[in-house]
Chains A and B, each alone.
Chain A
Amino acid sequence: METLQNIRTQIQDVMQNAIKLPMTPIRLRDLIRQVRAARTAADERAVVNKECADIRANFREEDVTWRCRNVAKLLYIHMLGYPAHFGQLECLKLVASHRFTDKRIGYLGAMLLLDEQTEVHLLITNCIKNDLNNTNQYIAGLALCALGEICSAEMCRDLVGEIEKLLKSSNSYLRKKAALCAVRMIQKVPSLMDQFMPVTRSLLAEKNHAVQITGMVLMRQMCEMNTETLGSFRKLVPNIVRTFRALIMAGYNPDHDVSGISDPFLQVKMLDLLTVLGRNDAEASDMMNDILAQVATNTDGSKNVGGAVLYETVLAIMDIKSESGLRVLAVNILGRFLMNQDRNIRYVALNTLLKTVQIDNMAVQRHRSTVLECLKDPDVSIRKRAMELSFALVNATNVKAMAKELLAFLETADNEFKAPCSSNLFITCERYAPNRRWQIDTMIKALNLSGNYVSDHVVANIIQLIGEYAEEQAYAVRELFQCVQDPNFDTKQPLVQVACWSLGEFGDLLLSAGPSSFGGEDHQQQQPMNISEHSVVDALENIIKNKHSWVSTREYALNAVMKLSTRFTEMTSRIEQILAPLTANVSIEIQQRAVEYSSLFERPQQFRYGILERMPIVKRGTAADSTFMNGEEGLTVPHADDTDDLLGYHGDKRDGTSKPRAPKHSDSLLGILDDMSILASDTPVIHENGHAHQGSSAGGGMTDLLDLLDMNPASSVPKARPAAPANTSATSAMADFDFLNGNTSNTPVSAGTTFTAFEKNGLRIDFTVNGSPESLDVTINAWNFSPEEMSDFVFQAAVPKVLQLQLFPPSSSTIPAHGLSPVVQQMKIANPSHTPVKLRLRIFYKTSLQTVQEQAEVSNFPSPTSKLF
């Protein structure tokens, strides 16, 4: 054919020269050569552009002779990534041609350049219809192939009759293609299924493998789309089983044999169909138990092809209601897979075991050592699966051994594994640890090995863990102190954060703890270390000053150093010196803290001791825990902003000061886990003193308050740094001095006084005042009596400097119309000097027409002294 073409071209060239015919377009082969000869992308573009121009010109001339060649070239150009849509119509013209060559290229072009989303594709419907009826099976075959790939719902409806007819044809070449077209059609138009139902059954009786396999695909598709069909096809299970048995019992057939397996493609499709039929149906499952056992035992799984069949068998056994013996057999097949030379088979095994482990843990446990072996696999994807599976296999009896293996894995693991591995270790230890000392040890090791790749949740949870177990605190703080002395501490900052927190809270234990608290099993030396107050403060200062420390780590260290000012005796002036330069730190949070802390030194010592008391113990098992456990938290970027943590600590400290270390529910958990979704959630949290309020995010809605606060003449914020925000965290830290002033201040008030603070344009804001004169709890109810919804509602308030204000997030930012329900928001006002309370309010909201901003002053605040007491 090639020679003929050559002769033809040569003759044409001669003729062209003689009679000056228009230029013959270059051959596809020559175009490919030219493109391949192009040295640069620009050269290639030049070649393609020139050729495209020629092709377009030729298309415009409606040249029939070269259309086929031009489309073929265009398909090549299309593959190179250049636009070829202008060939779409030419493909249709080729398809309509009577020449087979034209049709073949035309249909190929149609499949490549058109799909159901392009509008022109409908124009092909009629050509396909004609070709489907062509007596030449290959022409009909081309049409079927195109139809199976680009047909749209509209084409389906037009051509369903033809496909049904071809499904009944005696020609297996057409029947197999028609069956797959039918699959596509019922995907597009499910209602066409009924038309194909009767003929589908007959496909199964076929001897031809191609018709069998395509028939199974069609049946499976129908079963998946309709439970009724599924039910009726279940009756065919014995037939399928019989066919299946015949297939595997059949002697060697070179045409269908693949390394000793009889038609694996067909076997897998049969298994797939059986799975669908046997799922949730005991009777059908029962009928296939035998054949599945037969395949599972007799298939040689050493090669990929046998593996494919066995793998499908395992999936079938797991999915249907199979006998327990069969399930054990399936898990054992996977166990054998784990030892297979072929890494693909190992991967598949791990993946499947991972799905099975929940259902059949004991069976999988037997292969634990093989799974652990896979942690060392050279292939990352296998290591990843092996890690997941290893965690799923941990239980109370093997936790120590498993943790040891997993820590060894962590030591050499890629960075991407460290966060999920450390998170999972935490969860595992939490669940199965034999004792707390072991748990703390393991987690310190895990943090050590995970370096900077640890999720913030893990840090928070370990902190909580240490806080919870008083008997292990001295031990933990000692271990952790050693960690911060590591010169490379900046490569394991999450560990440093835990260490800082512990040092801050329990630094005093570090100095006093005797050797008695150390168990013999620890590598720790027996005699007490000679730790001086200086060395601890030095270490923390080092962390603050190190230029590689993250801001969040510095924050932890800053808090710790401040706390130590009350735990240590000789360090006060040293700590003041450390704080001094930080009051000008570029990080607003650190600056804020440093300013607050420095001012604490100016007040009577009891303030400082009160505020810097130990954190209360936080009970777990609240909302925070569930977020830790669920989902992808292990993959969080380790370097997250921790400002909310700090806010959280303070919220908690304030609540806890009156009763330090008493177990109770408090919102500090929300703060420790700097999970914005939790902070933003409106779940009310019950406090010790019995009232409910929103999550303790002090940040919300307060950013615009700077100018409002300007009404206070005496600003305590140093003038040199106008940027220092006088935000609510300042307030919150200082808010409740009342704790220190004695118990009377916490006397709860039985009933609140309610009054209207603001009313305009249908918006009414009611205040309900509770609490003591020094500390007012105000519940804000914002009602909307207008006929229109108010969205983006923001309520802001400011108080004179003598008062301290804390505003919690609102229950919603939208107030429904007609006074349906109010938006509720909590506000705390500390009034240590018992002055008359004055508020300035700023309110924003949106209606469909406008954005409204209101300002108001509230001076009719009921004086709690006169009214409430």
Chain B
Amino acid sequence: MIQFLLLFSRQGKLRLQKWYVATEEKQKKKLSRELINVVLQRKPKMCSFLEWKDMKIVYKRYASLYFCCAVESTDNELLILEIIHRYVELLDKYFGSVCELDIIFNFEKAYFILDEFILGGEVQETSKKNVLKAVSAQDVMQEDEAVTSALEEFGLV
């Protein structure tokens, strides 16, 4: 089971965080700061895994963003890499060749996609199509609502 997931930039700026295990706010900050430092110090030739505290860290860099998962020591790290990759693919499909800026300005969307892919630290949907379908259906619901409320506001309906 995934313990937590961090997205951060090469400069160490946090772009997204998801904690699947209840952790105190202070501890979250401490752990993420430490882990970001550890990962950023790794050289490009090193493998994507490291043993850290009592967890296994699986990370991968996509352009300027690091995707970093902390998992239990019994988890299959190669599959975690696949999960990370799948998430990147989903982001890419959703935003259309995603870049860091997309995630910065639409971080809530990045969370929505993640929440349709993983729940409570486990994969809930293995079909890309289904994940994106669920996300965009909800986007449509939001848009409809926005239209209705805008029209209502100006007394058009």
Contact = CB atoms under 8 A, between A and B. Distances in A.
Q: Does A associate with B in a complex?
A: yes
Interface of A: 1, 4-5, 7-8, 11, 29, 32, 36, 72, 75-76, 79-81, 83, 85, 99-101, 104-105, 108, 111-112, 115-117, 138, 141, 144-145, 148-150, 173, 176-177, 180-181, 183-184, 209-210, 213-214, 217, 255-256, 258, 263-266, 268-269, 272, 304-305, 307-308, 311-312, 315, 343-348, 378-382
B19 to A, nearest CB: 7
Interface of B: 14-17, 19-20, 22-25, 29, 45-50, 76-79, 81-83, 85-86, 104-105, 107-108, 111-112, 115, 119-120, 122-130, 134, 137-139, 141-143, 145-147, 149-150, 153-154
A190 B57 CA distance: 28
A382 B126 CA distance: 31
B49 A180 contact: no
A138 B77 contact: no
Contacts of B76: 268, 272, 308, 311-312, 315
Given A180-B124, A217-B122, A304-B81, A141 B134 contact: yes
26 contacts: A4-B146, A4-B150, A11-B154, A32-B105, A36-B104, A75-B108, A100-B138, A100-B145, A104-B138, A108-B112, A108-B115, A138-B137, A141-B134, A144-B119, A148-B119, A149-B119, A180-B119, A217-B122, A256-B127, A265-B123, A265-B126, A304-B82, A343-B46, A343-B47, A348-B49, A379-B47
Contacts of A256: 126-127
Given A11-B154, A149-B120, A347 B145 contact: no
- Of listed B47, B77, B119, B154, residue having the most chain A CB within 10 A: B119
A414 to B, nearest CB: 12
A146 to B, nearest CB: 9
B31 to A, nearest CB: 13
Given A138-B137, A149-B119, 8 more contacts: A75-B108, A81-B14, A100-B142, A115-B23, A177-B124, A183-B122, A265-B86, A311-B76
A116 B86 CA distance: 29
Given A105-B108, A116-B22, A210-B124, A268 B79 contact: yes
A115 B22 contact: yes
Contact of A173 (B17, B47, B128, B134): B134
- Of listed B15, B124, B138, B149, residue having the most chain A CB within 10 A: B124
A714 B155 CA distance: 110
Nearest to A102: B145
A255 B78 contact: no
B147 A4 contact: yes
Nearest to B21: A115
Contacts, number: 164
A562 to B, nearest CB: 47
A308 B78 contact: yes
A115 B120 contact: no
A117 B127 contact: no
A263 B79 CA distance: 11
A52 to B, nearest CB: 16
A345 B112 contact: no
A42 to B, nearest CB: 17
Contacts of B107: 75-76, 79
A104 B142 contact: yes
Contacts of B129: 255
A305 B85 CA distance: 10
Contacts of B126: 209-210, 213, 256, 263, 265-266
B29 to A, nearest CB: 6
Contact of A148 (B45, B81, B120, B141): B120
Contact of A264 (B49, B79, B149, B154): B79
B78 A344 contact: yes
A347 B14 CA distance: 28
A265 B83 contact: yes
A250 to B, nearest CB: 13
Nearest to A152: B22
A236 to B, nearest CB: 20
Given A117-B22, A173-B134, A304 B78 contact: yes
Contacts of B45: 343, 378-379
Contacts of B15: 79
B35 to A, nearest CB: 14
Contacts of B20: 149
Contacts of B48: 344
B127 A1 contact: no
Contacts of A76: 107
A421 to B, nearest CB: 19
Nearest to A268: B79
Contact of A255 (B47, B111, B127): B127
A307 B78 contact: yes
A153 B140 CA distance: 35
Given A32-B104, A100-B138, A344-B78, A180 B122 contact: yes
A1 B142 contact: yes
Contacts of B124: 176-177, 180, 210, 213-214
A149 to B, nearest CB: 6
B108 A381 contact: no
A665 B53 CA distance: 41
A280 B22 CA distance: 33
B16 A79 contact: yes
Contact of B82 (A100, A255, A308): A308
Contacts of A11: 154
A157 B68 CA distance: 33
Contact of B77 (A111, A181, A344): A344
Contact of A145 (B49, B79, B115): B115
A5 B146 contact: yes
Contacts of A269: 123
Given A99-B145, A138-B141, A344-B78, A8 B47 contact: no
Contacts of A8: 150, 153
Given A264-B79, A379-B47, A145 B119 contact: yes
A176 B112 contact: no
Nearest to B128: A255
Contacts of B50: 381
A76 B15 CA distance: 9
A29 B115 contact: no
A741 B112 CA distance: 90
A138 B140 CA distance: 11
A32 B108 CA distance: 13
A382 B120 contact: no
Contacts of B142: 1, 100-101, 104
